[in-house]
Structure 1
Amino acid sequence: MRCMLIDDDIPTIEALRGIVNWEEFGITEVLTAHNIQDAKQLFENGDPDLIICDIEMPRGSGIDMIKWARDRQYEGGFIFLTCHESFTFASKAISYDADSYLVKPLDKQELEAALRKSMDTLKNKIMLGEYSKLGHAWLKNQDLIERSFWSDVLTATISPRPQLIQSEVQKRELAVQAHAEYRLLLVSVPRSQIEREWDESIFHYALSNLVSEILSSRVGSGRMIAYQVDKVFYNAIIVESPADMQELEASAGEIIRLSRQYLKCTATCYFSEPGVISRLAQLKTELEQADESNIIFRGKLHLPNKPFHVDLTERFTLDTELFTLLFVQKEKAQIVNRLKKELELLTSLNKLDAATLHSIREDLLQVVYSLLARHHIQAHRLFEGELSQQLAQDAESSVFDFMKWAQALTDKTVDSIKEVLQSEGVVERAKRFIQDHYTQDLSREDVAASVYLTADYLAKVFKNGTGQTVKEYLNDCRIRAAKQMLLESAASIGEIAMDTGFDTISYFSTVFKKWTGETPAAYRAKHKAAL
């Protein structure tokens, strides 16, 4: 809550700020003004909940201030200060619904008593629904306090000991039954299940609003906790038990349906069994674990007495020999179709869970890495792009995401192996890379990385294809460029050496003479004169 102090006497303002423990009265912000003009400007940033104002000020009295405030429908508390007891002032203050009328010098006990009276009055107005603006602010603040409590409970920030929970309920003045039983409703949407166009923070806000709209008539907003774990968006809703489960299940169904209709995403809902507050953190963890292992039952409502069943009596093993053969034969379509059929069969038999999907992914990667190593292709270079990494991260979220990743993995693997087998294509790409970057500090490893090969294997292929080593071809490119610059520009020998990628003039001169039989200066003098 916010309090505004108005007095033309600065020492009085400072004394007021220091004499009171404001937080004890629920006041978290104290504003100050030295005349009513400044006070009116502060109203532009939001109405304070309480005003403590001197009556007698040179640029407008406290009576003028309360009249202005009440005329603009201000319903907050008002405490007046004055140096003189005056029935006229007191009667006017009362007519404008002031809470208290204190005479300076201030007595701390009288001031604190007046503050308690104002706080009690505000609370009563809220309960009676007579104080609209402050009432909404107060209730919103109470929702925040309660939401903070339940968030601390779910994250085990508050110890699960019943005595400590009871203490926190009393300290925060919450209408919570510390010994009652509650259920958790967990709404889950993996990042991979939403449209790529969504900004994550905006989506999280939209999902929370949708859940709140559907459940607001049954659950207070202070009991709806939105949070994110890795790439999964969650909304945890605390429901008192016993509750009308039929209505809550219908609401959960609406969340799933409307998420698909308006947010274009797949939401899944999980209900926990009933439990006391001290068990809620564990129940949340259990629901998150169920969600993590849920691959084929998304977009549904799951109840504690009807868990989804996955048949794990016989673990599936990928036929790595078959897939190795398909990769060797470069049968991209057959690889993807075979994977799809295997996953569809496992889904139809309720045999696909997160662990099984993970093992299939690892076996497929083993096949791919083995083939890449055989062809001297560096896997970390081949799959280092942002899109490849994102697909890999999402691969185990669902069958759909797994197949998107598998398709991209297959395409890149088969295409890169084809290029290696066509060594002329690899050599040409390496030559083009050198031609485009010869002015830089290039190493054999840099050139090899550009074509996803190991440096030793590229050296062998390059030598066979060009008759030169990578270093010789690089120097050849640099010397050809240097010869042209020597004849066509007025740049110094040192500038030309730097511009063509050589570290020093001496090394440039050595290589240049080895390639042409002349020093750079002699070459320029001889051939430029002939032009």
Structure 2
Amino acid sequence: MRNICDTTNYVCECNRAFDKETKHPLVSLIDMSGKSRQGNMATDCYAVKVVCDGCNDERCGRQYYDFSEATMTFATPATEIDLRQCDGKMLIFHPDIIKCTPLGMRIKDFSFFKYHTDEALHLSNCELKVINKCLDGIDCELKWGIDEYSKAIISNCIELLLNYCQRFYARQFITRHEANATAMKAVDGIIDRFLRSGKAAAHSMLTAGKIAPELNMSAEYLNDMMKRETGKSVSEYIQLKRILMAKELLLSTDMPIGDISSMLGFCAESCFNTVFKKITGCTPHEYRNG
């Protein structure tokens, strides 16, 4: 990845790669059906690609339980964007176009920007029509020209698009429930082995970032999948698993409570007591003797 140069306008650069006119210096909707002058480009912009045909199923992670009308991928600033020929569109927008807007304040909520390419969003025909309608709204505003209302309207249009993407990803997690259940079993195995090995006493606690590579997932996708399947984030789920194991050890062994606390990676027995009571409603001592 090359260094990002502050004086380079990458919206213009992407437009030039497809011989397209720049209608706004901070945002563009590019028809990618034509041949690009470049293969990959690292930009300072967010990018949203919609590919209707020619998406490599393996590279984009599409499986038999996914829709296949179109595929969407997302990229954060400083990430390389693939500009090779495809039957699709790309929305590219600089962070400044959403700065101090409602979207700018919640852009981090759209975690799919940090998903891996093989964690792409696969659309049904109905969903694709909705996405295209959102893109048409952005295109219409770009053709209108720049005035004092442009930033707010464009930002609102992009936010609407991303809200729909969030809805469709939620749907995709539902259609992938069986595959997710298999992944959850793998997560349970990783956490159980870590806790039973005693590594929690000597190492820092597991996180989504540590578990995800073992599953070939991004930490963001793993965390979102976990929330959809269990209602808990990865960190919350790990905490529950620690308490479940603590309950098991309290009833099936004579281990001192302090040793159980240490084995499960709590910084102090008092911390263990506090967390245990918060989740179970009683202290470890009360649980063991009650």
Same fold (TM over 0.5): no
Structure with the bigger RCO (C-alpha within 8 Å, sep 6+) is 2
Higher-Rg member (1/2): 1
TM-score by length of 1: 0.22
TM-score by length of 2: 0.38
